[in-house]
Amino acid sequence: MKRIIEQLRQKAKRDPKRIVFPEAKDERVLEAIKYIEEEKIAYPLLLTHDNLDPEKQEEFANIFYEWRQIKGISFEEARELMETPLYYAAMMIRCGYADGFVAGATFTTSSVIRAALNCLEIDKNVGLVSSCFIIAVPDCPYGERGVFIYADCGVIPYPTSEQLALIAISSAHFAKEVLEFEPHVALLSFSTKGSAEGRWVDKIKEAVKIVRNKNSDFLIDGELQADTALVPEIAKRKLGESEVAGRANVLVFPNLDAGNVCYKLTQRLAKARAVGPIILGTIQPCSDLSRGCETEDVIDCTAVTVIRAQNREKR
């Protein structure tokens, strides 16, 4: 577990990026920023209501109004939004004044997602904004030596088959690009390959077909129960040989209820590290935080955001 976290931090240090923090009065964030600066993980930019540049506020309001007036936003509403550190931070990323932002220690996930959706560019190759967690479980033989991607635990409440497919694709690409392991993606269910029936089972089966029809370059299977996805002996007993069952390291949940509950249970009961939610599907990188986060979580989300900014430059 410590190995993967340290690898993320070391990778970020190779080429630190400008990361904005719009919650600069939160003690956990301030403590994290002190460490981030000392270890040269990123170049942190702290925002409060008091240090927003009026000229940039006006610039951002004009740009935001141009984009969003078709949605009924007035210029005054745009200007008011740019008086908030969260929207100001997102616009800094969009306009090239910074490389990524990390927020959510005090803002709700819905507020952070809304700012990302309204201000950042959506990746047309994905077409969907979702989220994932890096979960690192100590002394765990499953997944990638105890490391997993959990998705989606923060954005889409009840995904369609198409959305589940896009969540799987985004999460697999994230695993490959940031964690540098080969994704084995399991779409989880209460059923394993027809052992039960229901509309959620059908939805997952359809999602697997959609991913395979897109010729995605990673292994995927579903529907699978969690133990079948993780434990080789159980997978062999239920399915025989499989390239995913018993080897899954990317777990896609059928809905937000399942994903959010499972990540919090894993975090608390297994003493796992949970890094995220990491926002997927935007061109510019950003990460959310749980309001129950600790200083270490802020540091790790920052490292991930830096790595994604590094990868963006290489494209």
pLDDT for residue 256: 93
pLDDT for residue 87: 94
- Into how many domains does the chain fold? 2
Task: Please indicate, yes or no, whether residues 100 and 133 belong to a single structural domain of this protein.
Answer: no
Mean pLDDT of 63-84: 87
282: its two tokens = 């935007």
Task: Please indicate, yes or no, whether residues 42 and 184 belong to a single structural domain of this protein.
Answer: no
Task: Please indicate, yes or no, whether residues 41 and 137 belong to a single structural domain of this protein.
Answer: no
Q: What secondary structure letter does DSSP report for 36? A: H
Task: Please indicate, yes or no, whether residues 131 and 265 belong to a single structural domain of this protein.
Answer: yes
Say which residue, 279 or 154, is predicted with more confidence. Answer: 279
Task: Please indicate, yes or no, whether residues 287 and 270 belong to a single structural domain of this protein.
Answer: no
pLDDT for residue 315: 66
Q: At 248, is the pLDDT very low, low, confident or very high (cuts 50, 70, 90)?
A: very high
Mean pLDDT of 265-285: 92
Q: Does residue 176 register a pLDDT over 80? A: yes
Say which residue, 233 or 4, is predicted with more confidence. Answer: 233
Percent pLDDT > 70 in the chain is 97
Task: Please indicate, yes or no, whether residues 137 and 108 belong to a single structural domain of this protein.
Answer: no
Mean pLDDT of 169-173: 94
pLDDT for residue 84: 93
pLDDT for residue 196: 62
CATH number of the domain residue 73 falls in: 3.40.50.10950
Q: What's the pTM? A: 0.90
What is the Cα–Cα distance from 246 to 236, expressed in whole angstroms?
Answer: 8
CB atoms within 10 A of CB 66: 12
Q: Is residue 190 classed as helix, strand or coil in its secondary structure?
A: coil
Q: Does residue 70 register a pLDDT over 70? A: yes
Q: At 124, is the pLDDT very low, low, confident or very high (cuts 50, 70, 90)?
A: confident
Q: What is the mean pLDDT of the chain?
A: 90
Q: Is residue 280 classed as helix, strand or coil in its secondary structure?
A: strand
Task: Please indicate, yes or no, whether residues 137 and 113 belong to a single structural domain of this protein.
Answer: no
Mean pLDDT of 239-246: 83
Task: Please indicate, yes or no, whether residues 49 and 107 belong to a single structural domain of this protein.
Answer: yes
Q: Which of 106, 164, 98 is nearest to 130 (CA)?
A: 164
What is the Cα–Cα distance from 238 to 165, expressed in whole angstroms?
Answer: 24
CATH number of the domain residue 146 falls in: 3.40.50.10750
Mean pLDDT of 253-276: 92
Task: Please indicate, yes or no, whether residues 254 and 159 belong to a single structural domain of this protein.
Answer: yes
Query: What is the H or E stretch that residue 237 is in?
Result: helix 232-239
DSSP string, 83-116: TSHHHHHHHHHHTTS-SEEEE-SSS-HHHHHHHH
- For residue 18, the enclosing domain spans 1-121+282-315
93: its two tokens = 């990323």
Task: Please indicate, yes or no, whether residues 139 and 271 belong to a single structural domain of this protein.
Answer: yes
Task: Please indicate, yes or no, whether residues 157 and 89 belong to a single structural domain of this protein.
Answer: no
Task: Please indicate, yes or no, whether residues 215 and 256 belong to a single structural domain of this protein.
Answer: yes
